[in-house]
Amino acid sequence: MRKMTHWILTLFMMFSLTQVLSANEEEVLKDHFLDKLQEVKVVVQNAKISKEKKFEDVIKILTPTFDFELMAKLSLGRKNWNALSKSDQSRFVSIYTDRMKKSYSAKLDSYNDQIIKITSVVKKKNRMFIKTYMQSGDKGLDVVYKFYKPKKPKIAKDTWLIYDVEIVGISILKADKAQFKDFLQTKSLKELMVALQEQK
C-alpha cells in the first residue's frame, strides 16, 4: 500500500513538473517574441538611419526566428522537393528566403504606426501558436505566428522557429503552395525558380 502511494505521488509530481515546465516554455517564447517585436520597432522608428539600413537590421533581428528552409521545402511539397538535386534544393531555399525577405521589407513602412497585442498563446505538442491583433489606426488584423520546436537545435537559430504566418486566417505557406502547384502544372521547377528570382 505504501509502495503504491509512493508511486502515485511520484507520478503526480512528475505530471505537475511537466505542466510547470510547459507553462514556462509558453511564457519564455511569448517574452522572447515581444522582445523581438520591440527590437524591430526601435529600428523601424529610428529616423536617423536609411531605409536600406533599416531593412538590413530588421532582417538580422528576425532571421534567427524564421525557418525559411522548412518554409521553402513545405511550399514546394514532397514530390517537387524530392525531384530537385541537392544543389537545386539549396538554390531554391536561397531564392525563397530572398523573396520572403524582400516581401517583408516592402511592408516595413506600414509597421511604423502599428500596435501588436498578443491575444493568446496555444501550445500543441511541439507547436506553439502566438495569436496577435495588429492594430493600425482604426483598422485591425488577426495574425497568428506558428512556431515549432525542431528535434535538434539548428545552428544560429532560436529554439522555437516560425514555419508559417496566418493573416486573417490566410496561411502564407498554403497560398504559396497553391500557386507553386498550379505553376508547376504547365512549367518546370527551373522556370519557377527563375520566376521567383525575377520578382521585384
Partner 1 sequence: MGKINFLSLIVFILLFSMNSFGDDDFDDFEDEVEIKNIYDPFESYNRSMTSFNDSLYIDVLKPIDSVYKTITTQGMRNSVSNFFNNIYFPMHFVNNLLQLKIDGMFIESGRFVINSTIGIFGLFDPAKSQFGLYPHKEDFGQTLGYYGVGGGPHIVLPFFGPSNLRDLFSMLPDAAVSPIDYTQRSWWTITNTWTGLFTIKAIEKLNNISLYSTQYEQIRKDAVDLYPYLRDIYEQKRDEEIRK
**What would you measure as the largest C-alpha separation in the chain, in angstroms?**
73
Residue 154: left (phi > 0), alpha (psi -120 to 50), or beta? beta
Site size for partner 1 (CB under 8 A): 38
Half-sphere exposure of 20 (CA within 13 A, CB side): 6
Q: Does 110 bind partner 1 (CB under 8 A)?
A: yes
Cell 528552409 sits on residue: 69
* Site pattern 66..85 for partner 1 (x: CB under 8 A): ----x--xx---x--xx---
Interface positions, 13-72, toward partner 1 (CB under 8 A): 70
**Smaller CB distance to partner 1: residue 2 or 78?**
78
Number of C-beta neighbours around residue 37 at 10 A? 17
Say whether 131 sits in a helix, a strand or coil.
strand
Rounded CA gap, 13 and 142, in Å? 38
Stretch binding partner 1 (CB under 8 A), from 37-45, 90-98, 154-162, 181-189? 181-189
Q: Does 3 bind partner 1 (CB under 8 A)?
A: no
Contact, 128 vs 121, CB < 8 A? yes
Stretch binding partner 1 (CB under 8 A), from 12-20, 28-36, 39-47, 167-175? 167-175
Q: Which member of 16, 90, 188, 199 binds partner 1 (CB under 8 A)?
A: 199
**Smaller CB distance to partner 1: residue 39 or 148?**
148
Q: Which member of 21, 151, 155, 156 binds partner 1 (CB under 8 A)?
A: 151
Stretch binding partner 1 (CB under 8 A), from 42-50, 90-98, 104-112, 154-162? 104-112
Rounded CA gap, 177 and 200, in Å? 20
Q: Does 169 bind partner 1 (CB under 8 A)?
A: yes
Q: CB within 8 A of 58, min separation 6: which ones?
A: 40, 43, 44, 104, 105, 108
Binding site for partner 1 (CB under 8 A): 70, 73-74, 78, 81-82, 99, 103, 106-107, 110, 137-139, 148, 151, 163-164, 168-171, 173-183, 192, 195-196, 199-200
